Amino acid sequence: MTPWAILLTAFIAALVQSMTGFGSGIIPMAILPTWLHIRTAVPMVALLTATVDLGMLVRHRAAVRVRAVLPLAGGMILGIPLGILFVRRMEERWVLGGLGAVVVLYALYSLARSVGLGVGDSARHQRKSPLSGPSATDQISLPLSSAPDVLTPGGTKGARLRGWVALLPTTTGLIAGMLGGAYNTSGPPLVIYGDARRWEPAEFRGNLQTLFLINDALVIAGHLAAGNITPAVLHGYLLALPGLGLGFLVGGLLAQRLSPKRFRLFVQGLLLVLGARLFL
């Protein structure tokens, strides 16, 4: 059953990715621990997401803003070893419980944004969510307005807050790195940060893809150093590649016929169920 489970999971992840703009990491991490040990699933998914993210970065490389990426990347460098150490040292039930919490919280955030509850937006700056745009081929849908950066407070009170705000990129990167090292799910904090910064669509794509690939490279290097890239992991990765390719092909065709928004809502509801199962 396990080879078919890996192939099917890769297919579903790529299908969801191509239709909704997310899924290459969080979908397999929500499914594979049912059939594989978490210490096998984590490095295998890291290899799969790196394959996807490399192709996406080639497409969006011209829009990367290095000054915006560097402090986030610095935090990720610190956080990734901590995440890998967490998976290696903690009991599997605690690791799976933490993964379930990440999946459920991200699904709830995405659902709230998709149905227009305005999570993370003030009433003055309503706009499209980065999780609910129409793109079916990008890593994530993007904010489309030019509303002010909500992390740049003004006025006298804002001047006192700017010192704390200056720490947010590194802190966000640290959290993203820990989640990436532990669960291959660095995306949620980075998406929320970029959304709050009001990055322009092209910049959003380029910056996130750069950060995702940096995360992938560091996570894979950490797993190599920890001895987690075993023959079983490599075998599973190679086994998943045909499913990944087929999923992108089918997803691209279905995206022209189905409503990406409705499909996204279905997937987010599914993530809630899958995340809750990891607690059990």
CA proximity to 184, closest of 213, 155, 157: 213
Number of folded domains that form the chain: 1
- Band of pLDDT at residue 117, cut at 50, 70 and 90: low
Predicted pLDDT at 143: 42
Model confidence at 54: pLDDT above 80:
yes
- How far CA 192 is from CA of 74, 88, 142, 197, 232, in Å, comes to 18, 28, 11, 9, 35
Helix (H), strand (E) at residue 238: helix 231-254
Model confidence at 118: pLDDT above 70:
no
Predicted pLDDT at 120: 47
pLDDT, mean over the chain: 77
Helix, strand, coil % over all residues of the chain, rounded to 5: 75, 0, 25
**Is 106 within 8 Å of 26 (Cβ atoms)?**
yes
Return the axis-axis angle of helices 92-114 and 187-196, rounded to nearest 10°: 30
Model confidence at 163: pLDDT above 70:
no
* Residue 121 or 84, more confident: 84
**Is 36 within 8 Å of 280 (Cβ atoms)?**
no
Most confident of 110-119, 131-140, 186-195, 232-241: 232-241
Predicted pLDDT at 1: 54
What distance in Å separates the CA atoms of residue 215 and residue 269, rounded to the nearest whole number? Answer: 27
**Is 239 within 8 Å of 3 (Cβ atoms)?**
yes
* Residues spanned by the domain of 101: 2-277
Share of residues in the chain with pLDDT > 90 (%): 18
**Is 58 within 8 Å of 71 (Cβ atoms)?**
no
Predicted pLDDT at 8: 93
* Residue 147 or 199, more confident: 199
What's this model's pTM, rounded to 2 decimal places? 0.68
**Is 258 within 8 Å of 19 (Cβ atoms)?**
yes
Share of residues in the chain with pLDDT > 70 (%): 78
Model confidence at 119: pLDDT above 60:
no
**Is 233 within 8 Å of 3 (Cβ atoms)?**
no
Predicted pLDDT at 229: 93
- What would the two tokens of residue 28 be? 């397999």
Most confident of 57-66, 90-99, 119-128, 239-248: 239-248
- What would the two tokens of residue 6 be? 């890996």
* Residue 159 or 96, more confident: 96
Tens-digit pLDDT profile for residues 213-226: 888 898 899 889 88
**Averaged pLDDT, 42-64:** 84
Q: What is the DSSP string of 130-198?
A: TTSSS-SSSSS------PPPTTS--HHHHHHHHHHHTTHHHHHHHHHHHHHHHHS--HHHHHHHHHHTT
The alpha carbon of residue 145 and the mean position of all alpha carbons in its chain are separated, in whole angstroms, by 22
**Averaged pLDDT, 170-188:** 86
Dihedral angle sign, alpha carbons of residues 28, 188, 17, 126:
positive
